[in-house]
Structure formats: C-alpha cells, structure tokens
A and B are shown apart, each in its own frame.
Chain A
Amino acid sequence: MTEYKPIRKVVSGNYAAAYAAKHARVQVVAAYPITPQTSIIEKIAEFIANGEVENLQYVPVESEHSAMAACIGASATGARAFTATSAQGLALMHEMLHWAAGARLPIVMVDVNRAMAPPWSVWDDQTDSLAQRDTGWMQFYAENNQEVYDGVIMAFKVAETVNVPAMIVESAFILSHTYDVVEMIPQELVDEFLPPRKPLYTLTDFDNPISVGALATPNDYYEFRYKLAKAHEEAVKVIKDVGNEFGEMFGRDYSEMIEKEHIDDADFVFMGMGSLMGTVKEAVELLRKEGYKIGYAKVRWFRPFPKEELREIASKVNGIAVLDRNFSFGQEGILFNEAKGVLYSAKSKPVMKNYIVGLGGRDFTVDDVRKIAEDMKKVIEKGEPDVEVDWYHLKR
C-alpha cells in the first residue's frame, strides 16, 4: 500500500459527500434539488464542468422519484450509481427505494435529514430517513463531516459486497452547511480500498439475456425476501470487516456499528444517532469530570440494526437514555422503540427512558444533556421512568 497522507480540506458536510462520491468514481449521478441537499449535486456538477471527473454521467431528472428510478436503471445496467436527497424528496422516492433493494442494487444515497412538512421546515429531523426503515436499505448516520465522507466510501464497499443499497444520513445545516476539516483520501488509495464494482448481474450480456424483477408467485416471492433478509444479516459482518479495513488503511476505525465510550464504568448511557451525538460526547466528557458515571452509545448503523452490540451494552449499564430526533406517531421515538424490541430478549434489561429532542431543528445543547443526566439519575434511583416518552423541549 502507498503511504497514506491525508489531504485536509475545510468543507461542508455536503461537499464532503460530493468529494466522497467523486473519489468513489461514481459513474452515474441522477438527482433533483432540494434544500439542504442541493449543494451536493451542485458540487458534483461542478466537478464535471471543470473536467475533474471522467466517465461520469449526470442525469438532471425531473423529480426524486425519477432520480431513484434512473439510479436503478443505471445500477442494473452495471454502473456505480449515486444520488442525494432530503425529506420530501426521500418520501417521493419511497416506492423506488423498495425497488432498488428488491432488485439488489448497491446504490448509495446521501439523505440530508430534514423535517417533514407541514408545517414547512428545512431543519434537522430524522423522521424522513427513519420512515424508510422497511425499504430494505442499509442506513448509516454520520456524526460529523468526516463521517459523511468516510461513510459514503465505505457504503459503496459494503453495498457492493452484499448487493444491498445504502443510505448515508447527515443532519440538515448542522452538518450539511457547516464547514469543518475533513481528511480526504488520495485517489489511488480510495481505488485500492474500493475497486471497480463487480455486479451481481448486468443488462449487458447480450448472449445470455435475463429479465429482472418479473412477477413472482406466492411460491417464489417469499424466498427472495429471505435472501434480502440474509443479505442484511451478512452485512453486519461485512460492515465490521470493512470498517476495520478502513481503520487499518486510514486510521479511522469503523468496526463498531455502535460507537461507545465509558460503557464499562457507566451507570447509564446516552444513546442516539447522528450529529446530536457530537453534543452528547462533549457533554459526557464534561459531566464525567463533575463526577457523573455516564457513557454514550452512538448508533452508526440503524440498518442492519446492531442487535448484539446493543445487548452487550445493556448487560453493562443500569440505564439507557434514548435520544430520538424523530417520532413514530401513535408510538414513540423510533430508536427507543427499536432498542426496546432488541432488549426484550436480553438477559439484563436496563431502565430506559425516551427523550424526544431537536425535532425540526430545535437546538440541542450540552446543557440539555446535563438536564437529562440529572433526570436519568432519578429514573435509575426509582428503578423506572416517570414517563416513558418525554417531550423534553416542550413549552409547558
């Protein structure tokens, strides 16, 4: 391996995504503008305009539904396809997300988390991506711009290994438009890490033609669902291997699907996803100095869900404060709901409380973490939460 000398660039989360797509040598980008995603595809268009990329076809489609459809056509043909969207755009794609996964196409997409309307909002909220939970896509939640960049490159490798599409999720504005230093990988090394795609099938073998996705009767449909379910199971292992390899080559290890700290001596941990975990990390270190016995568990991959890692965390702590920047109406925070489900079969069950935070971009600060830590202490003393779901910021 050539010696790794990172190229440091100060970029927004969106530009980090665009650079990652470029470095992954994507061949087809089909996308449609929407705030706060637009600067990703603008940057990619700029790469093409400046002659910085070769053999990249940019398809300026007329909707997100068509963006995903075009990526599906491209990926089925055999190309590496990429797109990006947000909120309303992602919702419009919904049908085609199922299609991409069902046809086993390793498309990579960045979703910039944005609240669903109405009321209109362009700010951070995870409900858009989590509402796509059951489409068969893998989902990776980035905490910072570096993770956006790394995530896109790793996602291609994981996706192309298991033939399942992957979504890299970043926060509106907090990441998408905030500049930060990102260590980029020289092209030769990205090429070494991520070789050209070897498709499961293509549409270009003209002597042995195939059809893809024909009507399957109840006698066969079931087996294809099982195959996709198995691919997600296999992805758990692949994600760890790829994350490990990435760490060995570039010094940033992603072998953990849940990034965790202080679990071994924590009374309770904060669990959540995405950029808000950056705030939590900072607060945890601060509060530990003040004597709080706390840790954190940042869920990087929401699909496939890291069940084993979560059960292990649960076996070591007395409580988990689940922070959800999302909500499933008629139920509760989505991560909370998932975590409870996973822990039902765990031997030790910590006390859990769900804090609904930051919806529609509501500020979530270090001070909020402190308040929640105070509250959690009481929950653990009592051995049960006062309320299971706490609309933490609500103006009462």
Chain B
Amino acid sequence: MSLNTLFGEKKEAAVKISLESIGEYPEAPISLGTTLSNFTGDWRTFIPVVDDNKCVKCYICWKFCPEPAIYIREDGYVGIDYDYCKGCGICANECPTDAITMEKEEK
C-alpha cells in the first residue's frame, strides 16, 4: 500500500468494517466508511505498465480512468495505484503516444 495515490491519507485511514454485535450497528442504514478499503486490484488479468520515456504528460489516461486509479507523481509523470486498477485497459487505449501497455499479469 502506498501513500502516493489520489487518496493519500484517506486511503491509509480506510478500514474494512465488520460489525459483530447489534449494539455496534447504527440505528438507520447509514454508511460508516468509504470503499477505499476495498482493493479491486485483484480483479486484474492485464496490468497497465507506463513507459515514462514515451509519456508526454498529457494526463488523458488520468482523465479517463473509471476507478480512479491513476495519480500524478511529483515529477509530473503518471503512476498507477495497483491496489485499485482493475486492468480495464482504457488508459492504454486512450494514451496518444502508446506509453501504456497492457501486460498479462503473473500472479
């Protein structure tokens, strides 16, 4: 788990919630946390890999990631939070310079 994601401390703070006794439940069905504790990265079959040498920092991939799982690093290049990336391939399909390739993920 890395802090350098779109969600920073929020990701750090996210926890799975499982209530064990009736007293722990809220009176009404209101939410108690965010989905950030749910790592959807294990859905992936193909993994996007970014080649910084080809990247022109247009952020189109960032714009179109539906999770979102793409963040922008301090150096301006894009990073992928593999905890959430589902491997849909949209980023690779939309990247104008083919800087992202989808590779079969070894698990």
With contacts A102-B29, A163-B27, A211-B31 known, what are 14 further pairs, Cβ within 8 A? A104-B27, A104-B28, A201-B28, A201-B30, A211-B30, A212-B29, A212-B30, A213-B29, A214-B29, A220-B19, A220-B25, A223-B19, A224-B29, A227-B27
A387 at the interface (CB under 8 A from B): no
A346 at the interface (CB under 8 A from B): no
B1 at the interface (CB under 8 A from A): no
What does the 1/0 interface line of B1-28 toward A look like (CB < 8 Å)? 0000000000000000001001001011
Q: Name B's A-contacting residues (CB within 8 A).
A: 19, 22, 25, 27-31
Q: Is the interface of A mostly helix, strand, loop or mixed?
A: loop
A10 at the interface (CB under 8 A from B): no
A343 at the interface (CB under 8 A from B): no
B22 contact set on A, CB distance < 8 A = 223, 226-227
A117 at the interface (CB under 8 A from B): no
A163 touches B28 (CB 8 A): yes
Top-3 shortest CB links A-B: A104-B28, A211-B31, A210-B30
A104 contact set on B, CB distance < 8 A = 27-28
A210 and B27 in contact (CB under 8 A), knowing A223-B22, A226-B22?
no
A103 at the interface (CB under 8 A from B): yes
Per the 8 Å Cβ criterion, residues 198-214 of A in contact with B are 200-201, 210-214
A103 touches B28 (CB 8 A): yes
Per the 8 Å Cβ criterion, residues 86-123 of A in contact with B are 102-104
B25 contact set on A, CB distance < 8 A = 220, 223-224, 227
Total CB contacts across the A-B interface at under 8 A: 37
A231 contact set on B, CB distance < 8 A = 27
B37 CB to closest chain A CB, in angstroms? 15
Per the 8 Å Cβ criterion, residues 217-231 of A in contact with B are 220, 223-224, 226-227, 231
A1 at the interface (CB under 8 A from B): no
CA distance A256 to B64 in the complex (A): 63
CA distance A200 to B25 in the complex (A): 13
CA distance A344 to B19 in the complex (A): 37
A201 contact set on B, CB distance < 8 A = 28, 30
A213 nearest in chain B by CB position = B29
A49 contact set on B, CB distance < 8 A = none
A214 and B31 in contact (CB under 8 A), knowing A223-B22, A226-B22?
yes
A216 touches B29 (CB 8 A): yes
B13 CB to closest chain A CB, in angstroms? 13
B18 nearest in chain A by CB position = A219
CA distance A95 to B11 in the complex (A): 37
A213 contact set on B, CB distance < 8 A = 29
CA distance A216 to B28 in the complex (A): 12
A102 contact set on B, CB distance < 8 A = 29
A224 nearest in chain B by CB position = B29
Per the 8 Å Cβ criterion, residues 162-208 of A in contact with B are 163, 200-201
CA distance A192 to B45 in the complex (A): 64
A298 CB to closest chain B CB, in angstroms? 32
